[in-house]
Structure 1
């Protein structure tokens, strides 16, 4: 039987890049298994345009890295990747789109790309055939351009072969069988290969490959057209090869091709492909053109680029591409399986291939990549996303490919997919809902009988006044919010404490009823989040963490629990509850618990509230006197009724508050959040979590990585900023400057309603992080003054939470 250390399933540009980067990392005995021939799937017919315009700094960086590799691969392999390094242009015909361009300029500054705003004249110098009458602005990206998909893939493949890797074309995978030693038997007509690790990079067939292992992937293949015109004299006359363009308000992308224009559109009349089952063989094939679907969109194209409407079409490419619910790839180790890595769902695989190939290889070889990939982790979706939700979201994502993505916008396609028992009650209370791990939860509650509807915008919306009222009511009276966004675990058994010492670097509670906080840390000492630890008994602990990252945390925690004398129960799907906060929270809790002594600050207990089994924690996420009441999901409505009845009896005006108010208040207190502040690119020392660490714990499995990060010193310090009032507020991700020097970036931001000022949590280079330092935040093209605070912005001494 043949053996491979890693078998990469799929010979598109992604599979070839992963093979190349694994070989570059020094691994051997590597193989790509491609059932047809290299590039036979969506790589083969890709338009292969690329630039770094993306709202995600991670994805923008991955594209930048790919473009850098064009030259490196050519020098290394001697192959021409067909690169046209012409850069890219994005055009704005609306004020909102101009805001988006300015937001993207901030991303460019984060990743080291200097985007240049263009005048109409400069735009016409590049593309004289554009109708610029309605153009409000345009932006030029000097990186990127377009490449030959086949040439790029072959260069990755040759580079991998030069380093000893193998590529088997015509090798079909028909079964994947897990072995008792954690590897895989990869079988098909050509025989069987025993692989230590399999990587699913099967593109259009990735879900079907996943199904061979008993898993599913939230992805759908969508049919897409791009067209190439006959030669156009005005295009032929452009002296230099012009940049690829995205005229996004007109819904079209394009480039010069053969003297004409290659252009593509994302039509509203969408069509999927192979949802029930992909064809047994779909290799280097296209669909018949279906141009009638494009007619409504073509009207906008002809208006923006009139010469296209006056020219014949030379050829039509109509082929499938992969869409996920959020248009981001699906990466990472598959849950409940050993050594099965997912590298699927790439919409722009050509331009993402180099950067993500590098990070995937780092993840596999080093245990974690150097950048935070949680936004692309396959575990960001649970089983709830398979089927109707993914189908609806993928169709919506395709049809709205060039829609502006506003920071306050909640996509409604496919919803609701999961609702709590409280959903109808919240509707009656006027909730405007958002989504947390598929669950519908209130973002805010409408006031003055206004409908709970929010306009998507880069500026302040209808929610601003409503959220202000919620925050101030919590400050002055008391409010309650849903705990559906929290994960809940129970660890019981003789080795429960030993497990926690191995899994977490933080201190354990010293006595029953005690609470502590701990970072969750990866093998390189980067943050995966944090965890609240409640000691119920000496061998029994409750853990509370981030619900949206629960599956990622379990990927880290569960292997440590193997072969230990304990029981680890994941109660996240079955438990929820409420957090009660405000100066009168204790009065409500005393009325609710009817004489049962309440826990002191940073303590907790199990108790019965009537017939309901609950766990109460006394800690504060929002900076007020607060309690968390955790209960079974089935008991949530009953607990709500008891809670509101107790408040009424106690004479307290208890009102609900939503996720936006909770976020505003936690930012006022400088409390970091998993994902925004607590991610793999940040160490506990940079996030100010040193005080949580147990320096005597010699069992922690990632101690070497944690020590190495500490010894390397702080690249950033997490600090609070107070910003000047401005017509726009930062929303997170904006770069910070001191003069012309990049000083750091904002990780999350909100208006602080209790202090009456815009605030942000930021990661600042130590030389700029001193209290009182004056910085500027680049926000939608404006430089907003910002001051580094000494501590948090609200109740600096923390007396309210301890009251």
Structure 2
């Protein structure tokens, strides 16, 4: 074995397909000073026993872009490296067996059309012609994606490794990384042990591609990498005469997938309740190992398979395999720089889609490392979404029993996870529960999504139509529009930025002017150099040297990381204050009446203007009231220290009995904000979306001086917009919009709906989304005819560039 060098530009930990892909793509970018260290042998963890399915269609445009890239890369790797990859474009077929699954598949077909993936809805006869072995009597829908394929996973990794070596990278087997070194702020290298020797490699960046070993390795550096291994089962038959190369077949209602290979048939499973493995860590000597068979666990899947594919009744079993794969709390993998430690990068947690993901993920991460920012929006898989508590092993063990099965479960809108719940709760959680709250979970926070009536079941009954809480949401929504509603938004992320340079620092990061008077609340974005939106937030000036930044709970770690990344020599302290304060939002035209009943302070429009904040008395307690709104009505956000939260909530609730107060959930917050065309980070606005094209130019002050993204804003002003954010209302009040339906302009699909909900005050489904419009005026854009495609059916839609509800924003300034 060659001895590891003493210095490298990048050290990659782990020689599975993920690590090999990162090495390949960094080398292709000209980074020849790369070292990949594998503790045993390349592919020996999970890659070698992966199924090798290459499905291009994912749940979003950019994840689909990455999967398509993988498929294209694997097709050409053999010619480049001489390593046979087994890549065959055999296509795939997905079968639905229920009405709900039919709706899901038809919606997936719409998504495929939006993202340019060839898809065909095929008949039972066409299924049988392509796949004569499958029983089709109970099939309700079938999709065929001819561009999908399958490959040899181990050889894909080997081809990537060879390509990396050909471009100058060093790949060493039998060298274990025992730890990542750091100087307190950034990673500085790795310590290694080959069994006979030990040493250190100094490095500019370290990339953890350690798969199921990655979590514990990251933890030793204080880095959160929430993943847990699960047992994953499949069987392979003896050779079956005349089998041939069949499309990959997925039958999600039976938790099964089928793949023909070398004349044999593979049956794999994503069972509803999985078996976590390696709770105490992965054994030191684990290498090309299988886990003990558990035929009883697999038997229900096989029983359904023998009916779906009668050949399994007679074919002998060649291999029954059980091997570990890593799963994450939300079924999405992790990419990016760890927020806790600069220079520590991650590509791990692939949830059994590592082969199709790693080609694109390696490319995207390599560009991110080399260029300092991702090539496009990767928030869906960004490591900064992980919450520190999620490194807890008991939490992970419980959650992954569910997330493995969710890959093939019905993907109903608003579906809630059921395991590992109750970790983060508001101080008034029990009061909300007693009032009928039905909770959802985001970033570990239990949040009231809707409130059940007395005697109503406190549970979701899922479906693609109006779910069982639709009328509850309508009542809550109309209370906010006509009366007064109360939301618990304690899950907001709250960041205090304080110090003599606080104003200068934040004005450098924020697009709006934050050098305002004490008590002013500023709505703003933090931009990247491309003018894309890194954060959507409010900034409240508390004093000459102190500000409070309020961000979505899901983006808190991302926003903290962005602030700290740019702190430099600014004399500021950046402190997460989220747990210190509860937040109650009192919203609606009667909000002033309710607050006046519990507070002696002046709450008149003249005495307490919109966009200002100050301390007020409530009951026998105190709150800092921010006159701001995310629902488009008169209202205040009340920030209350956690010790007084229960008292303030009870004072509002009790006084509310005389003012028609309605407790409201997050579904209503969402429907109100979409009706008002307020943007939501991660859906309508991302780091890929230019702030002017997102319609947020009003929050940008280019005349205040330099700030990150200013040049990109000025260029866009000169060049004109390439696309515009529009709001849509369906003319037919019956269909529902959720997300990723197709926007159809003059008969042509032009993009996805970024957010959708039902606008109860407007009387129809409301959606938002971008429409390409290079060189066009707003009048030309609005002159077109618009439809929204929902599960293959197109519905006429009214389009608007201004909010359809209260377009002049008069109601928030009542």
2:476 alignment partner in structure 1: 470
Look up the SS of the partner of 1:384 in the other structure: helix
Q: Does 1:205 align with 2:213?
A: yes
Per the TM alignment, residue 509 of structure 1 is displaced from its structure 2 partner at its CA by 4.8
1:334 is matched with which residue: 301, 326, 338?
338
Residues 772/30 of structure 1: CA separation in 2 closer, same or farther (3 Å cut): same
Q: Following the alignment from structure 2 to structure 1, what is the Cα–Cα distance between the partners of residues 443 and 291? A: 36
Q: Aligned to 2:809, which of 769, 783, 798?
A: 798
Q: Secondary structure at the match of 2:755?
A: strand
Deviations 1:439-485 (A, max 9, x none): 11111112363122221111111111111111111222111101123
Could you tell me whether the CA contact under 8 Å between 2:332 and 2:350 is conserved in 1? yes
Pair 1:6-2:15 in alignment? no
Aligned to 1:510: 516
Aligned residue runs from structure 1 range 584-733, under 5 A: 584-596=590-602, 599-609=608-618, 612-648=621-657, 651-704=658-711, 706-707=713-714, 713-725=720-732, 727-733=734-740
Between the aligned partners of 1:699 and 1:576, the Cα distance in structure 2 is 35
Give the corresponding residue for 2:309. Answer: 305
SS of match in other structure, 2:440: strand
Q: Are the equivalent residues in 1 in contact too, given 2:692–2:713 (CA < 8 A)?
A: no
Give the Å deviation of 1:290.
2.3
Matched, 1:245 2:253: no
**Cα 1:79–1:459, aligned 2, differ >3 Å: closer, same or farther?**
same
- 1:369 aligns to 2:380 (yes or no): no
1:246–1:254 CA contact under 8 A, matched in 2: yes
CA distance in 2, matches of 1:137, 1:726: 26
TM-aligned CA deviation for residue 548 of structure 1: 0.9
Q: Deviations over 1:329-356 (max 9, x none)?
A: 0222212212111111012111111111
Contact 2:510-2:527 within 8 A present in 1 as well: yes
**Are residues 1:219 and 2:219 paired?**
no
Deviation at 1:300, TM superposition (A): 0.8
| Pick aligned residue for 2:431 from 408, 425, 445 | 425
Does the CA-based 8 Å contact 1:772-1:790 persist in structure 2? Answer: no
* Structure 2 residue aligned with 1:229: 237
Q: 1:758 aligns with which of 754, 762, 765?
A: 765
State the SS of the aligned residue for 1:44. helix
Secondary structure, aligned partner of 1:164? coil
Q: Using the alignment, how far apart are the partners of 1:62 and 1:569 within structure 2? A: 35
What SS does the aligned partner of 2:84 have?
A: coil
> In the alignment, what sits opposite 1:294?
298
Does structure 1 conserve the Cα–Cα contact (< 8 Å) formed by 2:634 and 2:813? Answer: yes
| Secondary structure, aligned partner of 2:176 | coil
- Comparing 298-307 and 262-271, the one that deviates more: 262-271
CA displacement at 1:496 relative to structure 2:
1.0
Distance 1:409 1:237, change over 3 A: closer
- In 1, distance between residues paired with 2:66 and 2:243? 34
Q: CA deviation at 1:535?
A: 1.8
Distance between the aligned counterparts of 1:255 and 1:288, measured in 2?
A: 23
Deviation at 1:378, TM superposition (A): 2.1
Contact 2:436 2:454 survives alignment (8 Å): no
Residue aligning to 2:793: 782
Contact 2:491 2:578 in 1 (8 A): no
Shift of 1:660: 0.7
Q: Would you say 1:484 and 2:527 are equivalent positions?
A: no
1:157–1:703: structure 2 CA closer, same or farther, 3 Å change rule?
A: farther
CA distance in 1, matches of 2:350, 2:477: 40
Alpha-carbon distance, 1:400 to partner = 4.2
Rounded to whole Å, the distance in 2 between the matches of 1:346 and 1:715 is: 34
Contact map agreement 1:7 1:33 (CA 8 A) in 2 = yes
Q: Assess if the C-alpha contact under 8 Å between 2:525 and 2:533 holds in 1.
A: yes
Q: Does 1:411 align with 2:422?
A: no
> Judging changes above 3 Å, is the alpha-carbon distance between structure 1 residues 711 and 114 closer, same or farther for their aligned structure 2 residues?
farther
Residues in 1 aligned to 2:577 and 2:531: alpha-carbon distance in whole angstroms: 27
Match of 1:526 among 520, 523, 532: 532
Confirm or deny that 1:325 pairs with 2:332: no
Check whether the contact 1:368–1:523 (CA below 8 A) recurs between aligned residues.
no
Q: Is 2:171 the partner of 1:167?
A: yes
Q: Distance in 1 between matches of 2:575 and 2:401?
A: 36
Partners of 2:65 and 2:312 lie apart in 1 by: 33
How far, CA to CA, are the matches of 1:61 and 1:478 in structure 2? 44
Q: Write the deviation string for residues 594-643 of structure 1: whole angstroms up to 9, x where unpaired.
A: 13455211111134435534211112211111111111223221111222
What is the distance in 2 between the residues matched to 1:149 and 1:684? 41
Contact 2:757 2:767 in 1 (8 A): yes
| Corresponding residue SS for 1:278 | coil
Superposed, 1:531-542 pairs within 5 Å as 531-542=537-548
C-alpha change, 1:712 and 1:182, in structure 2 (3 Å) is: farther
Q: Secondary structure at the match of 1:640?
A: helix
User: Structure 1 CA distance, aligned partners of 2:511 and 2:676?
Assistant: 24
Correspondent of 1:191 among 199, 203, 207: 199
Q: In structure 2, how many angstroms separate the alpha carbons of the residues matched to 1:702 and 1:534?
A: 21
Structure 1 unaligned residues grouped into runs of 5+ = none
**How many residues are aligned here?**
797
Distance in structure 2 (CA, Å) of the matches to 1:110 and 1:68: 19
- Residue 81 of structure 2 is aligned to residue 77 of structure 1: yes
- Cα shift at 1:55: 2.8
**Structure 1 residues 334 and 797, CA gap change in structure 2 (3 angstroms):** same
Question: 1:129 aligned to 2:136?
Answer: no
Give the C-alpha shift of residue 187 in structure 1.
Answer: 1.0
| Change in CA separation of 1:791 and 1:709 when aligned onto 2, cut-off 3 Å | closer
Which residue in the other structure is 1:573 paired with? Answer: 579
Q: Distance in 1 between matches of 2:315 and 2:653?
A: 69
Say whether 1:554 aligns with 2:563. Answer: no
For the 8 Å contact 1:520–1:529, the answer to whether it is kept is yes
2:388 counterpart of 1:383: yes
Matched residue, 1:749 = 756
| Aligned mate of 1:100, from 91, 104, 107 | 104
Does the C-alpha gap of structure 1 residues 570 and 360 become closer, same or farther in structure 2, counting only changes over 3 Å?
same
Structure 1 73/33 Cα, relative in aligned 2: closer, same or farther at 3 Å? same
1:594 and 1:204, CA in 2 relative to 1: closer, same or farther beyond 3 A?
same
Identify the range of structure 1 (383-392 vs 308-317) with the bigger mean alpha-carbon deviation. 383-392
| Secondary structure of residue in 2 paired with 1:273 | coil
| Structure 2 unaligned blocks of 5 or more | none
Alpha-carbon RMSD across the aligned residues, in angstroms, is 2.0
TM-score by length of 2: 0.94
Contact 2:485 2:661 in 1 (8 A): yes
1:727 to partner: Cα distance: 4.5
1:472-521 CA-partner distances (Å, limit 9, x unpaired):
11222111101123111222221110111122121115322222211122
Q: Secondary structure at the match of 1:204?
A: helix
TM-score of the two chains, using structure 1 as the length reference:
0.96
Match of 1:356 among 352, 355, 361: 361
State the SS of the aligned residue for 2:265.
Answer: strand
CA contact (8 A) 2:250 2:257 kept: yes
Q: Return the offset for 1:698.
A: 3.6
Choose from 265, 272, 291 the match for 2:269. Answer: 265
Displacement of 1:437 in angstroms is: 1.7
Q: Distance in 2 between matches of 1:269 and 1:405?
A: 16
Distance 1:776 1:399, change over 3 A: same
